[in-house]
Amino acid sequence: MGMTMTQKILADHAGLDKVTAGQLIKARLDMVLGNDITTPVAVDEFKKIGADRVFDVNKIAIVPDHFTPNKDIKSAQQVKYIREFAKQMGIVNFFEVGQMGVEHALLPEKGLVVCGDVVIGADSHTCTYGALGAFSTGVGSTDMAAGMATGEAWFKVPEAMKFVLKGKPGPWVTGKDIILHIIGKIGVDGALYKSMEFTGDGLKWLSMDDRFTIANMAIEAGAKNGIFEVDEKTIEYVKEHSQREYRVFKADEDAEYTDVYEIDLSEVKLTVAFPHLPENTKTIDEIGDIKIDQVVIGSCTNGRIEDMRMAAKVLKGRKVHPDVRCIIIPATQKVWKQAMDEGLFSIFIEAGAAVSTPTCGPCLGGHMGILAQGERAVSTTNRNFVGRMGHPESEIYLASPAVAAASAVAGKIASPDSL
């Protein structure tokens, strides 16, 4: 029996010819990631281990992004602690305010992950890099500490589900609609512990930004990782962003999958996830009048340049509804500059939206746009759990940048075509 893409990458990094689902292995790591919430705990554990140096100063990335620029004294102390650790250890990839971005948008852009890599991150959305044909998954702070000390982690080899994408997506339909559609279909535990492997002819219609969005939300279906088959677009992206050597792993013809889904992209409609689970999806034509108070466009799910362009396309020459606060957060400094150079900010500001420096901010109810009791937001982020963006009685509707921008103009959840 053959191996899946994920199994092949894991076997390679474990130094084994073959692995099978359920097997416990130890694998070599190409990158270990942490943020301002998880790294302080990992540093404590690292100190308990008694290591006096990290395994490789180039293969650790620390990105203070959740509460930065520091929103209060506690977060400032935490970042100070990890900044000092990074300096002391000589960690090259510590990204200070001014260079930082939301971690999962930043790492691919900086060329720190390439096809064939094994990556762990003490953050659940580490699965984002599967878009590049890498195996990457979220772990705990203890794993991050051990990874920093040894350059290895143990894994239980996952089973996999295959998603064969076909056809061309319709107008306005993006990666966000596709992944929400899939989660609506299989549920928030539909891929529990498994890999979600994406393949098929339809891939050619998906940009890298679409793929990052899809892989990012694999965890919202309970998956251990999401991974895309590598094609020319992937290679082009990797070559443009990284000097590192990449390797392409393809699934075997006879690889075993627990389920195979065919998704016809031409039939996917604009999709919105209702509170309080990403699986509560409705297509745009099933939604009645839902008045909103806030729109957030950004995050590791949808804070990339195409997301900014999509929002600008909708907002151009229009005004944000007077009852709505529209907050736009480019995910990295590079996206920020690009958006600025392309004149997108003029469109945003003229429409009456606010533009923020890169941060996770409102995505986790941290800062920069917290919801009050009873308020509703349309957000391009990935989780709409109870209280995620503020008051326990607030509501989050997850959508694409196009739908979010259209909703900002309409003052209620809306399709860009309805404006």
Partner 1 sequence: MNVKGKVIKYGDNVDTDVIIPARYLNTSDPAELARHCMEDLDKTFVSRVNKGDILVAGKNFGCGSSREHAPIAIKASGISCVIAETFARIFFRNAINIGLPILECPEAARDISEGDEVSVDFTTGVITNITKGKQYTAAPFPEFMQEIIAAGGLVGYIRKQLA
Q: Is 213 in the site for ligand SF4 (CB under 6 A)?
A: no
Stretch near ligand SF4 under the rule CB under 6 A, chosen from 26-34, 93-101, 194-202, 360-368: 360-368
> What is the nearest approach in angstroms of partner 1 to the Cβ of residue 359?
24
Structure tokens, 30? 């190409």
Establish if 66 lies at the interface with ligand SF4 (CB under 6 A). Answer: yes
299 vs 415, which CB is nearer to ligand SF4? 299
Q: How far is the CB of 149 from partner 1 (least distance, A)?
A: 5
Cβ neighbours of residue 66 closer than 8 Å, sequence gap 6 or more: 35, 36, 37, 75, 359, 360, 364, 366
The residue within the footprint of ligand SF4, chosen from 382, 384, 407, 415 (CB under 6 A), is: 382
Site residues for ligand SF4, window 80-119 (CB under 6 A)?
Answer: 102-104
* Residues 324 and 360: beta-carbon distance below 8 Å: no
> In whole angstroms, what is the distance from residue 114 CA to residue 267 CA?
32
23, two tokens? 């097997």
Q: Under the criterion CB under 6 A, does residue 75 sit at the interface with ligand SF4?
A: no
156 binds, among partner 1, ligand SF4, none (CB under 5 to 8 A by kind): partner 1
Contact pick of 18, 74, 80, 156 for partner 1 (by CB under 8 A)? 156
Q: What span, in angstroms and rounded, lies between the C-alpha atoms of 147 and 347?
A: 44
Choose from ligand SF4, partner 1, none: what does 50 bind? Cβ within 5-8 Å by kind.
partner 1
CA dist., res. 319 & res. 405, Å (int) = 10
360 binds ligand SF4 (CB under 6 A): yes
- Supply 417's token pair: 């075509």
Figure out which of the listed residues 1, 50, 245, 341 binds partner 1, where binding follows CB under 8 A. Answer: 50
Per-residue CA distances from 265 to 176, 202, 210, 212, 227 (Å): 12, 7, 13, 17, 18
Q: What are the backbone angles phi and psi of residue 377, rounded to the nearest 5°?
A: -130, 145
Closest CA to 261 of 152, 331, 340, 179: 179
How many other C-beta atoms are found inside a 10 Å radius of the C-beta of residue 188? 16
Among the listed ranges 24-32, 80-88, 345-353, 403-411, the one in contact with partner 1 (CB under 8 A) is: 24-32
Residues 6+ apart with CB under 8 A from 409: 314, 315, 318, 319, 320, 321, 351, 419
**Total residues at interface with partner 1 (CB under 8 A):** 23
Residue with tokens 């339909």: 173
Q: Using CB under 6 A, count the residues that bind ligand SF4.
A: 14
Q: Does 145 bind partner 1 (CB under 8 A)?
A: yes
Give the integer Cα–Cα distance in Å for 271 and 296.
16
264 binds partner 1 (CB under 8 A): no
Q: Minimum distance between the CB of residue 135 and partner 1, rounded to whole angstroms?
A: 15
Minimum separation from the CB atom of position 193 to partner 1 (A)? 5
Provide the minimum distance between the beta carbon of 66 and ligand SF4 in the complex, in angstroms, as a whole number.
6
125 binds ligand SF4 (CB under 6 A): yes
Of residues 284 through 323, those in contact with ligand SF4 by CB under 6 A are 299-300
HEC string for 364-413: HCCCCCCECCCCEEEECCCCCCCCCCECCCCEEEECCHHHHHHHHHHCEC
Binding site for ligand SF4 (CB under 6 A): 65-66, 102-104, 123, 125, 299-300, 360, 363-364, 381-382
Binding site for partner 1 (CB under 8 A): 22-26, 45, 48-51, 139-140, 142-143, 145-146, 149-150, 154, 156, 192-193, 224
